[in-house]
Structure 1
């Protein structure tokens, strides 16, 4: 199956912050999309300021996996679009939430918690340890990923216990964080992946790109039994 991916990005930092624009001149979404296309995915992009945030019913119906990056403008995402995405996830669409997308309306809706955490923008080194080496999202990696400069996220992370924890981060400031968390909601698979601060070139990192591609394959819908709800007649009669 040729997995159809939509990469969604606020696309605000890149247009208003020169430091971010130098790293991602055409937006983080285009960097992520290019890496996925090189892996054979069918990829489109969508941004906040497009009509319906680029996530119309037609776009979502043609999306197997949605990748989400947001930060500045979580509150600007319309509730109707959040409901639309939520319904698609329950129906089987995969969702990959990146970095500060932990505070997005859709992630908080799916988790049912505040999704709050500790943070620090500094010059931290991040080491992501692979704690589920047999998981498909860890395919092709070594025992760890090293990122020289990243924003720190620290525990406690107010999310439900992951069904599978793939990565745990350690930061040079001493903190640790659950950085690769898998969930299912309805028929949809969800993966939260921590790295990706906008002022650092994290999405150019080959191992980060590999994780996102692996996660897109893992989160893609798989054939299964149909879900049937509502009033049901008995199968047996006497």
Structure 2
């Protein structure tokens, strides 16, 4: 039996890990948030240690009885409460680190655990990668994780701001290139106009049109 339950400090350390997966999705992964939360890595160092159980696994063993048996633990009433809390830790990690979908392994995971694998035997079928997102995008939230309500305009802007954050470098580059092109075109237009004005002054007629002779006078205006 595990001598103690996981501490809040160990949970916080787990949440501080930036890598969802550091290699193959197995029990030997080091510095992996997934492996540390699952309980196969030390919750204080994130180094794999399958000789002891931490975080998720620790609670199963601590509760003993049916909870300590993989085959029958889902039948224990505490199972749902325990896994709901574990899921909320995963939710905190998602909100804190905002990982891209590509972070979830597409290959080399155990059978059925790759990103594009279906979660069987659940119906309808969903791929693992479809759940690698904040709970609010799936239609639910955790009461103790709820953030202060935002006004509708802010909520409308959030998805677009997030997209802009991901492509800001391209936006800056496009703005710089656009500015250079605009400056060059403006310079060319001004140069052409200046040249046309100079040309028109050089080709003024030397003789006055016949109808203008009637208006010509040598008389002084004084």
Q: If the TM-score is normalised by the length of the shorter chain, which range does it land in?
A: under 0.3
Tell me which structure has the larger Cα radius of gyration.
2
When normalised by structure 2's length, the TM-score is 0.27
Q: Which has the higher helix share?
A: 2
Q: Which has the higher strand share?
A: 1
Higher relative contact order (CA 8 A, sep 6+): 1
